[in-house]
Amino acid sequence: MNGTDGIDGTDGTRRTVVVGAGAAGLGAARLLADAGRDVVVLEARDRVGGRVHTDRTWEGVPVDLGASWIHGVRGNPLTELRDRFQVPTAVTDLDSLLVHDPSGTPVPGDEQARMRAHAEEIIDRFDRDGSLPAAARWTDTHRRGVRYFLWQHFENEFGAGPRELSHRWYSDAVFAGEQEIVPGGYDQLFRPLSAGLDIRFGQDVTHISHDGTGVTVHTARGTELPCSDVIVTVPLGVLRGGGLSFSPDLPPAKREALDRLAMGTLSKTWLRFPRVFWDDAVLTHAYLGTEDDAWSEWYSFARVHDGAPVLLSLNGGPAGRAIEALSDRDIAGRATAVLRRWFGDAAETPVALQNSRWTQDPYALGSYSITPPGASPEDRDTLAAPIAGRIHFAGEATHSTCHQTVHGALLSGRRAARAVMAGSRRAAGAAAVGS
Ligand SMILES: Cc1cc2nc3c(=O)[nH]c(=O)nc-3n(C[C@H](O)[C@H](O)[C@H](O)COP(=O)(O)OP(=O)(O)OC[C@H]3O[C@@H](n4cnc5c(N)ncnc54)[C@H](O)[C@@H]3O)c2cc1C
């Protein structure tokens, strides 16, 4: 062995290595460890959670740069974590929406409903046959409103424009019940889940080799970790284009599935102001006066954080990718220009800003997976399929219905852990028969 960082010197014949300490990796490792298995987690970053990431540099306002919502609490495995770790959550009313016309005047509720209904008709048609109305310049307020609801549905929900998405498969599965956020930070669900696990940070896994007898996991530090099985939970972006290779190489079917699937973008921009200058009784605000669709969706987090003057803007798809390539200063300039147009002189200049930049992050390379035209849920099943009964795959992209969610990631990790345990039982049975 070249290096032995934290390696216990055993031959790894009964050890499972989990690559990645996000929701999938922690879900897998917890199940294996609780079943008494020898499990080591290798994580490239210096923290757990992956795309669940709470920044605590703003006093009194934990900022979630990755996931914020538990999408439906009924039957959701995250609800079980919420209850087990007694994490306070808040129900959000996602229908609490105020649409503002280009002059900043609130659009009456009945017209808002007509805009939404018009957008839903277009979405229904897209779902049926993939057709979309011609890309006319929609300038009147009604059409701007329709465009906002379409943008919210495609770019901000799925991280890609409708032309980048398969109209047959783009819908994801969420649970029934309330949509909840975690005011104290989403990582409160995962830090306790990681307690007591053998997690080795700063371990960038670069290569995984296997033969008939076992697996060796190689890291950028030159460490080689032998094991009986590995569960790979790195994001789709890293599998597609990151520095992780396999020998033998991934089977052609898996490579083809990787090529068909893609990563989408949801860019989060959190802005903190000297004071609240918007209607903080409403959670979601849509502003119809932007040049393109960017900077039209805003959330007020003031009520969530005891009146703290904080807004979140979501920008998905190509606009989100463009924003993530800008400096903080330029992002603040663009956001402020929109707020000035909307609120006039009442708009304050932000005192602080945070942008998520998952597209620039080498251990994510995008926000979450999407299903482009030509791809299908079968590609996700192909991605999830184990190799030689020893190399297992988990992560949101490998869940055929709940991809792009935290619960999908968690469930996929547990599925892979069960497959590892079932494989060991089969091997033990075969050994007993052969003995
Ligand atoms: C902006 C944004 C908002 C979102 N909002 C929501 C939401 O509100 N609700 C929801 O349910 N979902 C949401 N999601 C999706 C959700 O966050 C993800 O689906 C989920 O967290 C993915 O978990 P995972 O374990 O599959 O991957 P990750 O969390 O990315 O975990 C993979 C881990 O592997 C590590 N890694 C990568 N490469 C290597 C390597 N070479 N060696 C070692 N380790 C490596 C990474 O550092 C990471 O820790 C959002 C995502 C984003 C980006």
Q: What is the mean pLDDT of residues 153-168?
A: 93
Enumerate the β-bridge partners of residue 71: 179
pLDDT at 353: 98
Residue with tokens 């251990």, as numbered in its chain: 363
Q: Is 240 touching ligand 1 by the criterion CB < 6 Å? A: no
**In this structure, which residue's CA is closest to atom 50 in ligand 1?**
67
Predicted local confidence at residue 291, as pLDDT: 77
**Does the C-beta of 42 come closer than 6 Å to ligand 1?**
yes
Q: Exposed (0-12), middle (13-18) or buried (19+): which is 129, by Cβ within 10 Å?
A: exposed
What band does 181 get if pLDDT is binned at 50, 70 and 90? very high
168: pLDDT confidence band, cut at 50, 70 and 90? confident
- Beta pairing partners, 312: 270, 299
Ligand 1 and 43: CB distance under 6 A: yes
Ligand 1 centroid from CA 209, angstroms: 24
Model confidence pLDDT, tens digit, residues 370-398: 999 999 999 999 999 999 999 999 999 99
89-107 pLDDT per residue, tens = 999 987 789 999 999 999 9
Q: What number does the ligand 1 atom closest to the CA of 244 have?
A: 41
Contact 269 CB / ligand 1 (< 6 Å): no
Cα angle 327, 329, 335 (rounded to 5 degrees) comes to 105
Is 402 near ligand 1, meaning CB less than 6 Å away? no
Whether the predicted pLDDT of 162 surpasses 70: yes
* Model pTM score: 0.94
Q: Please, what are the domains in the chain? A: 3-52+190-262+370-434 (3.50.50.60), 92-177+266-360 (3.90.660.10)
**Percent of the chain scored above 70 by pLDDT?**
93
Ligand 1 atom closest to Cα of 238? 38
What Cα–Cα distance (Å) separates residue 407 from each residue in 23, 158, 346, 351, 396?
8, 16, 40, 34, 8
* Cα Rg of the chain, angstroms: 23
Report whether 382 contacts 252 (CB < 8 A).
no
359 C-alpha to ligand 1 centroid (Å) = 12
Pocket test for ligand 1, best of 406, 407, 410, 415 (most atoms within 8 A of CB): 406
Residue 381, SS3 per DSSP = helix
Distance 170 CA to ligand 1 centre (A): 19
So what's the pLDDT on residue 7? Answer: 38
Question: Relative to the CA of 78, which ligand 1 atom is closest?
Answer: 11
Instruction: Give the atom of ligand 1 at the shortest distance from the alpha carbon of 358.
Output: 53
**Residue 214 contacts residue 224 (beta carbons within 8 Å):** no
Q: Is the pLDDT of residue 129 over 50?
A: yes
The residue contributing the CA closest to ligand 1 atom 20 is 406
CB contact at 8 A, 96 and 298? no
* Residue 406 Cβ contacting ligand 1 at under 6 Å: yes
CA 312 – ligand 1 centroid, Å: 20
50 C-beta closer than 6 A to ligand 1: yes
406-434 and 23-34 helices, crossing angle to 10°: 40
